[in-house]
Each structure stands twice: as C-alpha cells, then as structure tokens.
C-alpha cells in the first residue's frame, strides 16, 4: 500500500471505517457525559497553567534568595521548561494516537504535579532548573491528547467553542497560581507555594483516571476509523504540503514567542517598577488575568466559531486583527509610570490577544483527520514550545539584562547588582541605581518584543488564503481529500 493510500485511510472513513448509524445516541456523546468531560479537562488545564504561572509570581523572591539574574529566570520559565516539554510532545502525541488518551492525560497530570512540588525543594539554580524540566515532561502529553479527545466528542463547527472553555484553564490557572502563590509566599515562603499547588494536582489526576472514558476515533463525525494511524513521517509530509498549516504554524509560534516573553516577566516588572508587595501584585494580576483572559478566550472561541459559519477564514482573519490590536495596548501598559493605568492597559491587551488561542487550536484539528489529530497537536507544540515558550522568556531575559547594563552608569551591572540589588552594606545609592537599571532594562525589553505580534498576524492572513481547500471533510471520497 502506498504512502498516499495510507494517508487517505488515516484521514477518511471510506477505507477501514465503519459507519455509525445513530452516532448521536452513543453514551459518550450524551450531553451529561460531554459536560463532565469538558469540566474534568478544564480542571486539568487549570492545574497545567497554574503550575506554569506560579513561577512568574515567585520569580522575584526566588531571584533574591538564590542570587539569580534575569537570564536565569528566563531559562527557568523558558528553555528549562520547554526543553523536554517540546521534545517529548511528539512521542507522547504519537502515543496518544495508539493508546488510551484519558490514561495518558491522567499519568501526565500526576507527573507534572509531583515535579511542581519538587520545585519547592530546590537549593540552587541547577536543582530548580531540573525540577522545571520535570514539570515540562509531565505537561507535554496533556495538550495533544486532550485536543484529540475533544475532537472525537464534538463536531468541527463547535470545536473552537469547546476548546475555548477548556482553555479557560489558562486564566483560571493564572489566577490560582499567582494569587495563591503570592499569598502563600507572603505568609510562609516561595517553597511552600510550590507544595500548595503540587499536592492537590496529584489528587485531581485520579479523577481523570477513574471518571473519563476512551471514545472510538472519529465518533463525533459519524465514522469510527478502524485503520491504523499513519506513520510520523507521513503525517509530517502531509502537514508540510499544506500552505495553510505552514503559515499557521509560523504565525502561532511567533505569537507564542512574544506572549510567553510578556507573560513570564510582567509580574517582575510590576514588583520592580511600582514597589508593590508580592501578595498584592499576585492577587491583583491574578484577577486581571482571570477576567481579561477568560472573557477574551470565550469571545475568541464562540465569536470566531460563529463568524466562521459564514466564512471559515474568519477563524484566521479574526486572530490576525487581534494580534495587531494588542500591540499599542501592551506598549501603553509598559510605558506608563502609573500602576493602575498600566494594569488597565494590560487588562484590555490580554483580552484582545488571548482570543487567538481557541480558533488556532481548532483550525489545526479541522485540517486533519481523526488519526492525525493528536500527532498534529504534538508537532505544533514542539515548534511552539522550543521557539515560543522556550526562546521567548529566555531571549527577553537576555534582552532585559542587556538594556539594564546600558542603563547602569556605575560600572558592571551584573557584578555590582547580584539579583538586581546591591550587595548587603553597599549603600542606598548603589541599591537605588541597581533597581532603577533593572526596571528600565525590563521595560525596554517588554516594549521591544511587541513587533513579533505584527509579524505573526501577517502569517495568519497568509494562512487564511488557502484554508478552505485544506479543511478536512469526513464524507468526501478519497480522491477529494488530497493526501
């Protein structure tokens, strides 16, 4: 059998697929079960993002306690997390095409929660880096498996809306991670904050294992695929042959680069630039992220789902517009010297920006068949993880140190200002100069990174030009599927 034939089988229900006469009556497609499925995946998504977000609110006390630089913080939140998160995404996505996805999600959930708790035992940059790598290993399997699982329960014209609900785990997770993390760190210390999130996550992982069920592949589309999933190289060749996928991959990765850079350094910016307490910043920014990201996620999912029923290209046109609109809002947030004005800008910037998430993920699922969806999500996550989540915070940290060095006029900034502060006993003048340079360096780096959002928007526009010819149609004969 040729590669093309195997790809067609993997994408369509014609060869090796059994028609399901009354698919809507299947127990796993009942409203009650699908509601529970979405809720459980929302809980898992919440812990997924909370375990990421907590590092940003704890970054400043960790930096001062362990004597780190912004480059170190960028590595902890970027490359350190993304290395194995990205590398393992592909084999775990490949595995999700072949084994129980709900079992894989439960195992990964327990693993990343355990490693989050282990972060609290770190005594140096290296030990904390290793623990963050462990968190990345656990979280690598969640997104590909959950996206594929949802696609088998919901039809194409509802996937962005459902993914938007599950992706509410991002704002809820940021609220949980930043507010609880900031409060616990203020009452006890930053180590206890890691324990407070890690232990409950292990318990929640058991709920995934005992209450979810594995559906047949292609269930929601009325055709249960019995064929073997295509090989990894076949999937890669098929995806790369689509101009829509190439531009969507570039656009989402570039947007993720800037988004992760901003997200991991915005709280240190408020702690340095406005002299606010860690507990206050954690609580305030947790509420800002929860409300703005939550509303933006739902608007992007439900809004662009509705618009795409008129023209499917709105699932890409809409994100392009929002990416461009986010730029002046973020620039205003980082340029102003008033903390409340800055947070108002941040609120609207987050709402606008985050709306691109759900339609992007849904489009990735809608251009491939049931036996390619987890692998597609995993391959996308690899590129986004390395160049987005990995390089974004890391390079912004390097840029922040570079700008701070240029702003510091009393010698070598890195040597004179360990952890961004003057050494004990060095005097208030030097400490003030260190803090001012550290703040201005971060401010300029955060403003400079905004150009990447405009670059990303251009790729979304280009991806929309060929979207309609690449959408997966389950009922189409093999000749029209274009493997």
- Please check the confidence at residue 477 and state whether its pLDDT lies above 90: no
Tell me which H or E stretch contains 97.
none
Closest CA to 459 of 323, 307, 298: 323
pLDDT over 80 (residue 111): yes
**What distance in Å separates the CA atoms of residue 263 and residue 347, rounded to the nearest whole number?**
13
Query: For the chain, what is the mean pLDDT?
Result: 80
Q: Which of 118, 120, 138, 133 minimizes the C-alpha distance to 44? A: 138
- How do residues 141-153 score in pLDDT, each as one tens digit? 787 788 788 877 7
The mean pLDDT value for 49-60 works out to 78
Q: In order of start, what are the domains of the chain with their CATH numbers? A: 7-16+23-480 (1.20.1250.20)
- 289-338 confidence digits (pLDDT tens): 778 888 988 888 888 888 888 888 998 999 999 999 999 999 999 999 88
Does 474 score more than 90 pLDDT?
no
Q: Does 4 score more than 60 pLDDT?
A: no
Among residues of the chain, what percentage have pLDDT more than 90? Answer: 18
CB-based contacts of 119, cutoff 8 Å, min separation 6: 55, 128, 131, 132, 135, 194, 198
Quick one: three-class SS letters along 319-335?
Answer: HHHHHHHHHHHHHHHHH
Which token pair is 190?
């930053």
pLDDT at residue 332, as a whole number? 94
Name the band, by pLDDT with cuts 50, 70 and 90, for residue 421: confident
Per residue in 240-274, is it b (16+ CB within 10 Å) or e — as a string? eebebbbbbbbbbbbbbbbbbbbbbbbbbbbbbbb
pLDDT recorded at residue 432:
79
Please name every residue paired with 19 in a beta bridge, in sequence order, or none if there are none. Answer: 223
pTM, two decimal places: 0.69
| Residues composing the chain | 483
- What residue ranges in 140-243 does DSSP mark as E strands? 223-225
What does the pLDDT read at residue 24?
Answer: 58
The DSSP annotation for 20-70 comes to -TTGGG-GGGSHHHHHHHHHHHHHHHHHHHHHHHHHHHHHHHHHHHHT--H
- pLDDT on residue 80: 61
Tokens of 398: 């390097």
pLDDT by residue (tens digit) across 88-101? 777 777 777 777 88
Which pair of tokens denotes residue 145?
A: 């498996």
Q: Could you read off the pLDDT of 212-260 as tens digits, one per residue?
A: 888 877 776 666 556 677 788 888 898 899 999 999 999 999 999 999 8
Torsion over CA: 157, 159, 161, 162 (sign): positive
* 3-state secondary structure (DSSP) of residue 390: helix
* Sequence-separated (6 or more) residues with CB below 8 Å from residue 341: none
pLDDT of residue 462: 95
The residues, any chain, with a CB within 8 Å of residue 362's CB and separated by 6 or more, are: 156, 159, 160, 163, 301, 305, 315
């Amino acid at each position: 059998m040729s590669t093309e034939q195997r790809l067609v089988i993997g994408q369509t229900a014609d060869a090796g697929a059994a028609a399901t006469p009354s698919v809507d009556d299947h127990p796993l497609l009942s409203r009650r079960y699908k509601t529970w499925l979405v809720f459980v995946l929302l809980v898992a998504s919440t812990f997924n993002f909370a375990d990421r977000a907590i590092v940003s609110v704890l970054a400043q006390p960790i930096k001062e306690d362990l004597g780190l630089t912004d480059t170190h913080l960028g590595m902890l939140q970027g490359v350190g997390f993304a290395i194995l998160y990205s590398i393992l995404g592909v084999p775990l996505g490949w595995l999700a095409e072949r084994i129980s996805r709900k079992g894989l999600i439960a195992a990964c959930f327990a693993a990343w929660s355990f490693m989050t708790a282990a972060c609290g035992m770190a005594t140096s940059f290296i030990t904390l880096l290793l623990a963050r790598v462990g968190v990345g290993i656990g979280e690598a399997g969640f997104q590909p498996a959950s996206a594929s699982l949802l696609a088998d329960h919901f039809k194409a014209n509802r996937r962005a809306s459902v993914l938007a609900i599950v992706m509410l785990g991002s704002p809820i997770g940021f609220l949980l991670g930043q507010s609880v993390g900031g409060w616990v760190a203020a009452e006890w210390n930053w180590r206890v904050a890691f324990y407070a999130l890690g232990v409950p996550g292990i318990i929640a992982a058991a709920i995934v294992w005992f209450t979810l069920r594995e559906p047949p592949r292609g269930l929601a589309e009325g055709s249960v695929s019995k064929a073997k999933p295509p090989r990894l190289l076949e999937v890669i060749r098929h995806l790369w042959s689509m101009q829509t996928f190439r531009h969507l991959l570039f656009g989402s990765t570039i947007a993720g680069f800037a988004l992760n850079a901003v997200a991991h350094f915005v709280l240190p910016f408020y702690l340095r630039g406005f002299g606010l307490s860690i507990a206050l910043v954690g609580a305030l920014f947790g509420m800002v992220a929860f409300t703005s990201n939550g509303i933006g996620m739902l608007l992007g999912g439900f809004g662009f789902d509705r618009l795409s029923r008129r023209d499917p290209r709105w699932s890409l046109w809409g994100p392009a517009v929002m990416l461009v609109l986010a730029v002046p809002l973020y620039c205003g947030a980082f340029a102003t010297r008033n903390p409340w004005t800055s947070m108002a800008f941040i609120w609207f910037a987050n709402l606008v920006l985050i709306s691109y998430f759900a339609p992007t993920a849904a489009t990735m699922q809608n251009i491939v068949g049931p036996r390619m969806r987890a692998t597609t999500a995993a391959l996308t996550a690899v590129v986004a993880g390395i160049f987005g989540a990995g390089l974004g915070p890391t390079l912004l940290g390097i840029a922040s140190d570079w700008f701070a060095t240029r702003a510091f006029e009393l010698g070598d900034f890195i040597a004179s200002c360990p952890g961004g502060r003057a050494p004990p006993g060095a005097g208030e003048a030097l400490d003030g100069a260190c803090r001012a340079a550290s703040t201005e360096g971060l401010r300029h780096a955060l403003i400079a990174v905004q150009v990447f959002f405009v670059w990303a928007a251009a790729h979304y526009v280009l991806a929309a030009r060929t979207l309609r010819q690449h959408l997966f149609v389950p009922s189409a004969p093999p000749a029209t599927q274009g493997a």
